[in-house]
Structure 1
């Protein structure tokens, strides 16, 4: 017995075909949106690739670009089938492909589900990548003359300005590294020399941050040097001057930006799965209602459409049986002897009848 049968008249079939055609092209637009978001996500990752420890995070945007293109192709084909469904001559050429198309849609929905899960699960990987990448970026901030690190200072400064953050975890991360190059230090100055010699690793450390950490909303000019020394500035208290510099770490700011983007894209992919499933179910009703018409030459006659030709249990059992039949290897039956090997053909049936050639 068919699963969820529905009676259709000509008017219902026409309305279903028109509605499906619109839904399929909405799905095409969603596919274009997924493709565009994948490119945008990839560009954003590349812009900050110097502050990211590896390239594993590019897996998600690459999959989004691919699934966006596949969504456009799959739904454009479904829209064309719906457009030609009410013309018997045009529908006849699509009919042999529909079974493979439905199977492909099920596989494609599984791919979309995997991509949606990756959008949520890969967020932890992005967090670890940012943590290690920003740590190295702060360490290489001063190396503006080193090949491969020339633009690290500019990238990190622009990031801190754009995302209103400072350091990796907070602004105190700048106190632990030498972020001023030796070429800009006056080693003849006794104060600088003593500070370098007092450090075990010979680094020039100070309680200062780059200018990009300054908060333009502060009511007083930015204080970026001697942040922990209240007596170094007039009417200054580190505990109350929270608006002077950004207190939020860049790891938290960047992760919030990327995680919100990935969560939004994951939600869009889940919506695409639901929309795709509705489109496939509607197309199944449309095609089965057209195939079950008693008189195909009379479009006014009623017909019946369904989701599955048999019940779910019977369909699953039949599918599993077909799969087992395909993967089952050919085996020789036990107890069955192999056919005898063919004997050499010649003018004599028995080797004893062959003439003996005398030697000598």
Structure 2
């Protein structure tokens, strides 16, 4: 099945090309591990906004896959290089079949890492939506969270979780700083909490010439004031950042490594079967490379004919 006969020169070229592919995979593994660290850094920095999310699961898996790719790629690259030359072939020759098996397993590990990157958007998005809205409720109670929310809204030009109207649904103004005797304030008090159509100053759009109106953004005048506010929610903007800057590029990159891993596995199988076949008669002589040696019809007299040919040449 998919057989071809290679001379010693063909095996050398195959080995060197396989060495190059495995070297690329080793470097790709280092890049995948770095992507895992990069994702972990950004998730940890936003962990206060992620509800019920384990920030270490995907980054840890990417780092493990990357390290496995780097170590295996480095080892397989060295083995392919040594097996390209008869003098050094004996170092790894007996292990080639195990390397091929390990490569086959690694193919699906790499594929799983790629699919995890593509599929993980929905998990992070749900955690962001739930977490951000919950954090808004703590704005007036936790100074550290208040600073984080303000920085987030100013840095990413966003407001609220889904949009700026999320602030209308929570009591984010500390009542201790309000004149609760004022009739206007009284009309907005519900169960002892101030519930007005206001948003924090950090929701103001920094690239507008108009004075920012972030208080009394009422239903009747909302269209007049919204141009001065960031209208996009922080959950969507953060999700766009994670998807377009980390998850999607990482998924595409790892998927490319997956296809290179498949090609490398097929070529490693060809190299292993060709070397084993040549060793049956003459290690530096021609050998048949194939994916499945025992499948399909072959020439049962090949080795007898080859031995007769060597005898005739010797005579």
Q: TM (normalized to structure 1)? A: 0.75
Q: CA 1:36 to 1:162, structure 2 compared with 1: closer, same or farther past 3 Å?
A: same
In structure 2, what is the equivalent of residue 239 of structure 1? 223
Structure 1 distance, partners of 2:98, 2:65, is 19
After superposition, what is the alpha-carbon deviation per residue over 1:292-328, rounded to whole angstroms, capped at 9, x for unaligned?
22322xx4x332211221229xxxxxxxxxxxxxxxx
Question: Which structure has the larger Rg?
Answer: 1
In structure 2, what is the equivalent of residue 251 of structure 1? 235
| Alpha-carbon shift at residue 96 of structure 1 (Å) | 2.4
In structure 1, what is the equivalent of residue 168 of structure 2? 175
Gaps of 5+ in 2: 297-315
In structure 2, what is the equivalent of residue 215 of structure 1? 205
In structure 1, what is the equivalent of residue 288 of structure 2? 304
| Alpha-carbon shift at residue 186 of structure 1 (Å) | 3.9
Structure 1 distance, partners of 2:122, 2:53, is 14
**Aligned counterpart for 2:272 among listed residues 287, 292, 305:** 287
Structure 2 distance, partners of 1:93, 1:71, is 22
1:156 aligns with 2:149: yes
Structure 2 distance, partners of 1:193, 1:10, is 90
Structure 2 distance, partners of 1:271, 1:262, is 14
Structure 2 distance, partners of 1:50, 1:95, is 53
| Alpha-carbon shift at residue 49 of structure 1 (Å) | 0.5
Checking the alignment, whether the CA contact within 8 Å between 2:44 and 2:55 is kept in structure 1 is no
Structure that is richer in helix per residue: 2
| Alpha-carbon shift at residue 263 of structure 1 (Å) | 2.5
In structure 2, what is the equivalent of residue 323 of structure 1? none
In structure 2, what is the equivalent of residue 113 of structure 1? 111
Q: TM (normalized to structure 2)? A: 0.85
Q: CA 1:169 to 1:59, structure 2 compared with 1: closer, same or farther past 3 Å?
A: same
| Alpha-carbon shift at residue 191 of structure 1 (Å) | 4.3
Structure 1 distance, partners of 2:6, 2:186, is 91
RMSD between aligned residues: 2.1
Structure 1 residues 16-25 or 35-44, which shifts more?
16-25
In structure 2, what is the equivalent of residue 90 of structure 1? 88
Checking the alignment, whether the CA contact within 8 Å between 2:210 and 2:228 is kept in structure 1 is yes
| Alpha-carbon shift at residue 97 of structure 1 (Å) | 1.9
Q: State the secondary structure of the residue aligned to 2:217.
A: coil
Gaps of 5+ in 1: 145-149, 231-236, 313-360
Aligned residue-pair number: 293
